[in-house]
A = this chain, B = another copy of it.
Amino acid sequence: MYARMSAAVEAGGGTIADIDRAEGLIWADPGNTAAFPVLVADADRLEWIQLPYAGIEPFAHHLDDRWTWTCGKGVYAPAVAETALAMALAGFKHLHGYAREHSWSAPVGRLLAGSRVTVLGGGGIAACLLPLLEPFGCVTTVVRRSGHPLFGADRTVTVDHLPDVLPATDLLVVALALTGETRGIIDAAAIDLLPDDAWIVNVARGGHIVTDDLVSALGEGRLGGAALDVTEPEPLPDGHPLWALPNCLITPHIGNTPEMGLDLLETFVEENVRRFCQGLDLLAPVDVALGY
């Protein structure tokens, strides 16, 4: 990661310098936040700190308005969107089931093309997923708090219209932030509104779905299937009923793996270095007062 971030600095027009001469600090050691206070003690010329996280919880206690902070919010959305599409296609083509076979079996599978796709959430993941769906000619509905139309969606509705949208949904992609309002938003009532052959893909947070309700629906065939990159609890413990359900695919939070994320972060940091060198507004600024 250090090498990749160094390359991004050079590519963006910066040069690598010791901390006492540095104007910008790219944090390339995500697991080690404890070193921060010591490191910046002599950083007299420091103006800007770039963090690698989409959510900056690990650094929240270090935020200080002496400096300009940026983070990685939105950076990983292309990777997560790609994972969401991969999981949806796997479900529609029964790849999770075939992967478990050791014998030739009957051909099943349905087309994603022309399907009715509902994306719950209107943030970066939705914005990156819609272009990937575009060549499939899906009928896309984005459900978001504001209802402000998202570019590329056939329609955008507010969250209170979710019950109207679910009965006409073949694929539900959960891609919104977890808040008090959205926790448990996909419960038994919501699941029952979906067609019996609908698939749910969750690439947001496990807490959006009431796990027990999902287990019941999957077990009783009231849902086509679920592909979950996030779970509640997470990590999903051994022996949990979700592991054994034939219509469920669990992935261990791979939406943005270190391998994928580093590519995206490198490009992003290069751009922010370029902007910093040119005195332009930086991408993904952190509001120190609000803490995100």
- A residues within 8 Å of B by Cβ? 78-79, 82-83, 85-87, 89-90, 92-114, 131-132, 134-136, 234-238, 243-244, 249-254, 257-260, 263-264
Contacts and interface: CB of A to CB of B under 8 A. Distances in A.
Given A107-B252, A252-B105, A258-B107, A86 B92 contact: yes
Given A107-B258, A109-B259, A253-B107, A136 B95 contact: no
B135 A103 contact: no
A63 B10 CA distance: 68
A102 B238 contact: yes
A129 to B, nearest CB: 10
B78 A113 contact: yes
Nearest to A108: B257
A107 B250 contact: no
A121 B151 CA distance: 35
B251 A98 contact: yes
* Residue with the highest number of chain B CB atoms closer than 10 Å, among A105, A236, A258, A260: A260
Number of copies: 2
B93 A254 contact: yes
Contacts of A252: 98, 104-107
B136 A111 contact: no
Contacts of A244: 102
A206 to B, nearest CB: 12
17 contacts: A78-B113, A79-B113, A86-B93, A87-B93, A89-B89, A98-B251, A99-B100, A99-B249, A100-B100, A101-B243, A103-B243, A104-B238, A104-B252, A107-B254, A107-B258, A108-B257, A108-B259
A91 B85 CA distance: 13
Query: Can you list the 8 inter-chain pairs with the closest CB atoms, starting with the nearest?
Result: A104-B235, A86-B89, A99-B99, A96-B99, A107-B254, A107-B257, A131-B135, A86-B93
Contacts of A253: 107
Contact of A134 (B92, B98, B99, B135): B135
Given A82-B136, A86-B93, A131-B135, A104 B236 contact: yes
Contact of A259 (B104, B110, B259): B110
A109 B243 contact: no
A174 to B, nearest CB: 17
B249 A109 contact: no
Contacts of A236: 104
A238 B103 CA distance: 5
A250 B111 contact: no
A95 to B, nearest CB: 5
Given A111-B263, A112-B82, A132-B136, A98 B250 contact: yes
